[in-house]
């Protein structure tokens, strides 16, 4: 009976040793996976931050261009508004002159 107990004890110790080695190997594999996941998340975070910065720059540049174009359009509109009375007078004068020619022929 004592031989069976000793044998079972040694087998149990061997099994515990083997399971502990297996657990250590699994732990190291999990640690490596966690490290790779951490590196991937950091890379993804950096890419996303760069994308946000780049997008913000593009938006600022487009807003600046839009403001410049808007100011140019405002200047053109003001110029046309200043010239409008002269153009209207010119057109009305041509119409009156043409009307006088038509009235002379009749």
Q: Over the stretch 68-103, which tens digit does the pLDDT of each residue have?
A: 999 999 999 998 888 888 888 888 888 777 776 676
Q: Which residue has the tokens 């190997």?
A: 25
Read off the pLDDT of residues 4-49 as tens digits, 9 standing for 90 and up.
889 998 999 999 999 999 999 999 999 999 999 999 999 999 999 9
What pTM does this model have?
A: 0.51
> Tokens 């043409």 — which residue?
98
CA-CA distances (angstroms) from residue 69 to 12, 74, 82?
Answer: 84, 9, 20
Distance (Å, rounded) from C-alpha 71 to C-alpha 58?
20
Instruction: Give me the residue label for tokens 């002379």.
Output: 104
Distance CA 43, CA 53 (A): 15
The four Cα atoms 47, 53, 54, 60 give a dihedral, to 10 degrees, of 160
């Amino acid at each position: 009976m004592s031989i069976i107990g000793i044998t079972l004890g040694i087998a149990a110790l061997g099994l515990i040793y083997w399971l502990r080695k297996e657990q250590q190997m699994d732990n190291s594999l999990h640690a490596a996976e966690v490290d790779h996941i951490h590196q991937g998340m950091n890379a993804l975070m950096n890419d996303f931050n760069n994308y946000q910065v780049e997008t913000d720059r593009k938006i600022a540049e487009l807003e600046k261009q839009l403001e410049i174009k808007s100011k140019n359009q405002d200047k053109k509109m003001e110029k046309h508004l200043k010239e409008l009375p002269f153009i209207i007078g010119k057109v009305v004068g041509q119409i009156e002159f043409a009307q006088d020619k038509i009235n002379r022929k009749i």
